[in-house]
Amino acid sequence: MTEKVGVLGKKSAPRTQRSGVERVVNAPLPTVYGEFRAIGYLDHDRGDEQVALVYGEIGTEDVLTRLHSECLTGDAFGSQHCECGDQLASALRAVVAEGRGIVVYLRGHEGRGIGLLAKLRAMALQAEGLDTVEANLALGLPVDARDYGVAAEILHDLGVNSVRLMSNNPRKREALLRHGIQVAEQVPLLIPPCENNITYLRTKRERLDHHLPHLDAVAHLS
């Protein structure tokens, strides 16, 4: 390999490849829910830009926290195929009501990590009768490709040692524990189902182990 030579014939120092998560910016973000701070991060390993919405003086212990996977169709378009948009809104309301808390919005998690276009392809297969697990597998994709290591790094940067985790997904709790964040409590985030998402939610409960006890009360939905 030829070494790079800079001006005056001096050898250039090799560039250091950065890794991990870097805090880039802290900006006020007034929302319809309350006044948050939007703390932006760059994930050098994956190239994703991430954000944590922080409300109040969060402290270090038992911080009410939501790890929210990016979902363009649900968060922005109000899709009833999932409950993601309602979960995001409920989480933001909850941390404001609590007086302190964090919502980590995880980009790169679209479609449980398979990406937007692949998610739309999976949704098309679901419209033909496959469930959400079968659709991903039919496309040759993993059922769930999400990694919560970046979320744990963000929480560490914010000085958080333990959380009250707003989630119905046991895998999020397990991931945080593996990365050194204690989970003092798992707080259910249950959204009333509708006709368009009941099959999707039942699949999440039966095949992905999500804790969704409220579905028992809506047996009448197809």
What pLDDT, on the 0 to 100 scale, is given for residue 73?
97
- The Cα 76–Cα 80 span in angstroms is 12
Three-state SS at 106: strand
Mean residue pLDDT of the chain comes to: 91
**Range in 78-82, 147-151, 154-158, 199-203 the model is least confident about:** 199-203
Q: Is the pLDDT of residue 165 over 50?
A: yes
What pLDDT, in 10s, does the model give residues 115-132?
999 999 999 999 999 999
Angle between helices 170-178 and 149-157 (to 10 degrees): 60
Quote the DSSP letter at residue 79. -
Give the pLDDT band of residue 222 (cuts 50, 70, 90).
Answer: low
- The Cα 141–Cα 81 span in angstroms is 20
What pLDDT, on the 0 to 100 scale, is given for residue 7?
41
What pLDDT, in 10s, does the model give residues 189-216?
999 999 999 988 898 899 999 998 888 8
What pLDDT, on the 0 to 100 scale, is given for residue 5?
40
Three-state SS at 207: helix
Quote the DSSP letter at residue 20. S
What is the mean predicted confidence (pLDDT) over 100-111? 97
Question: 131 vs 63, 109, 135, 200, 212, CA distance in Å?
Answer: 35, 19, 6, 7, 17
Q: Is 146 a catalytic residue?
A: yes
- What is the torsional sign of CA 87, 37, 144, 210? negative
Catalytic residue among 144, 164, 173, 207: 144
Provide the whole-model pTM. Answer: 0.88
Tell me how long the chain is. Answer: 222
Q: Is 144 a catalytic residue?
A: yes
Three-state SS at 14: coil
Give the pLDDT band of residue 89 (cuts 50, 70, 90).
Answer: very high
Can you spell out the DSSP letters for 136-168? HHHTT--S-----HHHHHHHHHTT--EEEEE-S
**Range in 5-9, 27-31, 73-77 the model is least confident about:** 5-9
Catalytic residue among 66, 121, 146, 164: 146
Give the pLDDT band of residue 167 (cuts 50, 70, 90).
Answer: very high
